[in-house]
Chains A and B, each alone.
Chain A
Amino acid sequence: MTQPLLQVSRLSRHFPLGQGMVRALDDVSLTLMPEQILGVVGESGSGKSTLARIVMGLDRPTSGSVRIAGRDIFALSPRHLRQARRDFQMVFQDPYGSLDPRHRVGRIIAEPLHLDTTAPKGRDRRDLVGRLLRDVGLDAADQDRFPHEFSGGQRQRIAIARALITKPRLLVADEATSALDLTVQKQILRLILDLRDEHGIGVLFITHNLGVVDQICDSVAVMKDGRIVESGPMRQVMDHPAEPYTRRLLEAEPRLDVIGRKVRPKPS
């Protein structure tokens, strides 16, 4: 059997609040196999973003472990964790907040190369960044421009290019399409699928939107109040949800067949 790309075991994260405790994550376990896309769905306060930050080693859990390609990332020394970061990168929700406004696009995309002492420099680095920009549907010459010259969707492409530069095996996308127009959302989802197919990346896709899950995920985990209430293959969860909460989420989705539901008074 192949080794899981990501294995989250019994992860808990508690935050002190006043006299008590908030369980942002409560005994969460999940597994992502290589080249798969796992959707984590939940509403605000479900703990899904805390999960993303801990999986990326940006926050530490209260208990439990995160293994990426078999390595427990919280057992690594800071130096080894830094080296391991080449294998996993992240795309954030807000394409306006995730790019430093004072850096040029080329510098932003090349930032993770800091991890790699053998990374190309100078001319070769420019070529590499240019290739990545073309991979995500932008122009190689765009590396000399600043973030504010781009639209939200283009910025998200830049963020994806940055996440890809170290050739990671795991990509965590935290609401990566939520801030975008629907037509742009669709393009970015298409891009993520293509990248998975071409580069064999596994993706942890965190979202509040079941419509997105339906389009790209192989499996899905539904979170509520820091716990996973239901998980399984995507089609099974979406078409035959076992949990009332999953059903409620599905029912709340926008529909196009309930137009003019109510009897209205005659216009005066």
Chain B
Amino acid sequence: MQSPISSNDAAMSQAIGHGDGHGEHPDLRMLGFTLFLISEGMLFVGLFVAYLTYRAAAPAWPPAGTPELEKILPAIFTVILVASSGVIMLAERALKHGDMGQFRLFWLLTTAMGTIFVAGQAYEWMHLEFGLKDGLFGGTFYVLTGFHGMHVVIGLLLQAVVFFRSFKTNHYTPASHFGVGASSLYWHFVDVVWIFLFALLYII
């Protein structure tokens, strides 16, 4: 249970016109962020279901004449992205043990692996033989991978912010590190979405 509002907090909240409230109750930001991710997840669910509906209604999928999708390279990038979810957990564990050096190392490694994934995606986009306007196949492929790619990039930006903040003294402590926890959860989310997406677009 958190301590009641200290006189300091009260003075501060008076200065900005109103209490922030965080002094009074347990930190609820993780709960709020999780709800936000559930909402984000529904965006992908909507797009996935639309994609499946198109596929179910199409006489043949991929439509006749669509060039074959290269699978080996995306599979390798998939492994890298999924593995980075494990690495970010190692980083969190290091933080919980108070080892900031190891935390930064694993954190940076996660960012590097994520960057490789985005680069791989960009490479694939540049070498595909169909475009956004090439029917439903092209449209759904680019919109789904693009939406996901945008989320990966946001995840990388969050990681960069956390990385630089970790150099501030006591910004993240073993007991309190919302920024780390949230960007790590976000990263797992992006990862899980990709697993579904990879299965939908490349395998089935």
A binds B: no
